[in-house]
Structure 1
Amino acid sequence: MEKLTVMLLLASAVGANAASFPFILNELLRIDCGVKGKTTETYNNQTWYPDSFFIDPGKTKQITSSPNVPQVMTTLRYFPNGEAKNCYRLPLTNTKKFIFRAGFYYGNYDGKSQPPVFDLSLGGQPWATVNSSATADVPDVHELIYAPRNDNISVCLMGRKEYGSATPFISSLEATYLDETETANKTVYGMMRNGTAYHLVARLNFGGYDQVIEPWSGWSDTCEEQLNRYWTPQPMPGYTNLTFVPTTCTGTAYENGPPNSVINTAISPTNASQSIYVPVNFPAATPQSAYIVLYFYQDLGPDNVNATRNMDVYVDGVMTKNVKLQKYRSGEVVTLYPVLVQGTANVTISPANGTVLPPLLNGMEVFYATELAEEASSSNGVFKISYSVIVVGVCQLFVILFLGLV
């Protein structure tokens, strides 16, 4: 009994220390940059962890909170040596697809009212140019989907010489594993190739009025967002907003597992002869390879069992896909890739021959693709996490085995 007490105390002590850093094996990292200790985000009750486990250089700063800015954005880490490459090392558990998301909120933290411009890279390759704003009410967020070639990848910040190597900063950093078992058909962005980064341009919820995020307050609703994506409501003047009454977890039947809050709202023209026009602005005017996902779903009720909704999808005037919804409850997810675009792309959903009902559109995701070179695996900067995880795991296993023997 004395041995058992000692072992439980040891496990408890190690476990208490482990609670101060993220348990990497859950394949989800939410990092609150510049914060001390573990924090719980108030807007969706998710747990974020301090960034000191992933990086050493830099200084931290607290920003006066704002009702329009999430709590996680009210702290930041900045790097006075803007000419240096300041890197976070993210130890991942596999090399399958992840959503990487970085958030920046300047908030005039330095009192200079001079929001900096700097570079963000992933795996040693360019990710984005961050052009922060001192007056914006919302953070600047950059997101991409990428399958790393190794299980230890870097996210780096570096000032741009043409801007005097300005001081880079960062407010939040996330890496979310896109587990294909989260959706019924086991397909999540199935046309995305390994070695290619897919930069988010827009993720839109048509016909809805609220941002759709993963529910983490109390019991998670499995019919809602399960992949840590943020869906932005997209008002479309001149169109009718449709709302369908959810009867089942509708979205889980389709590719990428769209949440009910997205799949059960839509926009539609007022009559069957009209089209839906959605312009998409890409960040560069040069030709780019786009990855476009369109979500279609209808629930017409028993009075329209035999109604047909036949639609043609065009991108910049080129017909790319025909979509036919013939059942009163039916849907389809259309992925278009690669699509060559330049500047602004115009997505059009038009009525096709034989349609009875006007076109509709529930949701849309748009990415542009870039190739990333391979980054050599390294343990620099994450040894203390890996070592702690190993210690905790060994101690927990030892306690389990010991209890099984007594």
Structure 2
Amino acid sequence: MEKLIAVLLLVSAAGAHAASFPFILNYVLRIDCGLTGKTTEHYNNLTWFPDSFFIDPGKTKQITSSPNVSQIMTTLRYFPHGEDMNCYRLQLTNTQKYIFRAGFYYGNYDGKSQPPVFDLFLGGQLWETVNSSAAEGPVFQELVYAPRNDNISVCLMGRKEYGSATPFISSLEATYLDDETDSDHSVYRMMRNGTAYHLVARLNFGGHDQVIEPWSGMADVCEERLNRYWTPQPMAGYTDLTFAATSCSGTAYDNRPPNAVINTAISPTNASQSIYVPVNFPTTTPQSAYIVLYFYQNSIIDGPPENLNATRNMDVYIDGVMRRNVKLEGFRSGEVVTLYPVLVQGTMNVTISPANGTVLPPLLNGMEVYYATELAEEASTSNGVFKISCSVIMVGVCHLIVSVFLGLI
């Protein structure tokens, strides 16, 4: 019995170090940058790992907590040698699509009241120039990307033109987007490998002030399961619609929109009017846009009554050019429209107009907009991930020891 206890303790100790292995929880790696003194941290039923498993340089700092800032954003890692390339090395288990998200909350951690501007890199290519004063709260950068190999770096570096400011980072996430190749409903099916798709907007219409957050429990299978955040988008002059809840309706459509998104929508007051949604891109230079529009209807529980036996016929325009026709017929009907590539510049105007012969006014439930950039291939290397691989091997060996001890094999 004492031998068994010793072996189990060995497994437990190895398992603590194996926390750096990315995909042990729902295909999501969550890193709390600057977290010290703990193996893992639990916040909203989600597990976060300390970043010491993934990077060596830099110093850590704790920020005074704020009621409007999540616990995860109150620690950070900063890099005094700002002009160096300071890199997190992530070991992935697949080279399919991932959502990469980096969070930054300055919080005047250095007492200088000078939020820095610095560059963020993915796979050796510029991801974004981070302006940490762009918002009063945390700033997030997010993109969808299919790496060419299973080791990828996320790096930070100061810029001379901005005074070689000290880069910092508060959180880092990588979420594997399982394509389910045996399914008719894939995830971002038109996104190409080797191309990075930078998030511009992910909007929930008709949902008032509710931010749709990633699901945090197995019982929430009908909600957001791909670690996305949907921002509420109030639209003055339109009617908010709320549809009757049904069991996991979103899983029947591409990109698996959560029920909380497709069960709300906006609509004009009559069938002859259109919906207009402007989207501002970060630069005025021409961009190749990836646009996803979500349409869904069911029996209305909040909003003007409609005869859903009639056809809702809509035309989708981007900057005045007709791109797609959408028809919704009957209860529990929907469609996901993906448009790519669409050349846009500055502000893009999305218009959903009534098509000829429609009885019901147009509607819009949700929208995602990205712009595309090409990333060069990053060489595969084990640099910086030895602790990860070694820990995983240790866990496997320990489990084998236990199995042998118990006579299971």
TM (norm. structure 1) is 0.94
Q: Identify the residue that residue 388 of structure 1 maps to in structure 2.
A: 391
Task: Name the aligned partner's letter for residue 72 of structure 2.
Answer: V
* 1:13 has 2:1 as partner: no
* Counterpart contact for 1:184–1:253, Cα < 8 Å: no
Kindly provide the CA deviation profile for residues 277-302 of structure 1, in whole angstroms up to 9, marking residues without a partner as x. Answer: 00011111100100000000001369
Change (3 A) 1:41 1:284: farther
Q: Identify the residue that residue 101 of structure 2 maps to in structure 1.
A: 101
Alpha-carbon distance in structure 1 between the residues aligned to 2:405 and 2:357: 71
Task: Name the aligned partner's letter for residue 98 of structure 2.
Answer: F
3-state secondary structure, aligned to 1:24: coil
* 1:354 has 2:357 as partner: yes
Q: Identify the residue that residue 317 of structure 2 maps to in structure 1.
A: 314
* Counterpart contact for 2:7–2:401, Cα < 8 Å: no
Alpha-carbon distance in structure 1 between the residues aligned to 2:197 and 2:281: 13
Task: Name the aligned partner's letter for residue 349 of structure 2.
Answer: N
Task: Name the aligned partner's letter for residue 34 of structure 2.
Answer: G
Alpha-carbon distance in structure 2 between the residues aligned to 1:364 and 1:314: 14
Alpha-carbon distance in structure 1 between the residues aligned to 2:260 and 2:182: 16
* 1:187 has 2:186 as partner: yes
Task: Name the aligned partner's letter for residue 76 of structure 1.
Answer: L
* Counterpart contact for 1:183–1:252, Cα < 8 Å: no
Task: Compute the displacement of 1:183 (Å).
Answer: 10
* Counterpart contact for 1:41–1:70, Cα < 8 Å: no
Aligned residue pair count: 400
Task: Name the aligned partner's letter for residue 59 of structure 2.
Answer: K
Task: Compute the displacement of 1:195 (Å).
Answer: 0.4
Q: Identify the residue that residue 127 of structure 1 maps to in structure 2.
A: 127
* 1:214 has 2:199 as partner: no
* Counterpart contact for 2:185–2:253, Cα < 8 Å: no
Task: Compute the displacement of 1:231 (Å).
Answer: 0.6
Task: Name the aligned partner's letter for residue 145 of structure 1.
Answer: V
Percent identity over the alignment? 75
Change (3 A) 1:150 1:386: same
Gaps of 5+ in 2: none
Alpha-carbon distance in structure 1 between the residues aligned to 2:309 and 2:254: 25
3-state secondary structure, aligned to 1:13: helix
Kindly provide the CA deviation profile for residues 110-132 of structure 1, in whole angstroms up to 9, marking residues without a partner as x. Answer: 00000100000000001000001
Kindly provide the CA deviation profile for residues 215-241 of structure 1, in whole angstroms up to 9, marking residues without a partner as x. Answer: 21x543111011100111111111100
Q: Identify the residue that residue 205 of structure 1 maps to in structure 2.
A: 204
Moved over 6 A (4+): none
* Counterpart contact for 1:298–1:330, Cα < 8 Å: yes
Q: Identify the residue that residue 75 of structure 1 maps to in structure 2.
A: 75
Matches within 5 A, 1:368-379: 368-379=371-382
Q: Which moved more, 1:14-23 or 1:67-76?
A: 14-23
Alpha-carbon distance in structure 1 between the residues aligned to 2:8 and 2:397: 10
Gaps of 5+ in 1: none
* 1:176 has 2:179 as partner: no
Alpha-carbon distance in structure 1 between the residues aligned to 2:230 and 2:306: 31
Kindly provide the CA deviation profile for residues 73-113 of structure 1, in whole angstroms up to 9, marking residues without a partner as x. Answer: 00000000011000000011110100000000000000000
Q: Identify the residue that residue 347 of structure 2 maps to in structure 1.
A: 344
Q: Identify the residue that residue 24 of structure 1 maps to in structure 2.
A: 22
* Counterpart contact for 2:204–2:261, Cα < 8 Å: yes
Task: Name the aligned partner's letter for residue 82 of structure 1.
Answer: G
Task: Compute the displacement of 1:399 (Å).
Answer: 1.9
* Counterpart contact for 1:183–1:257, Cα < 8 Å: no
Alpha-carbon distance in structure 1 between the residues aligned to 2:282 and 2:182: 31
Alpha-carbon distance in structure 2 between the residues aligned to 1:145 and 1:85: 22
* 1:250 has 2:253 as partner: no
* Counterpart contact for 2:204–2:232, Cα < 8 Å: yes
Q: Identify the residue that residue 326 of structure 1 maps to in structure 2.
A: 329
Task: Compute the displacement of 1:405 (Å).
Answer: 4.7
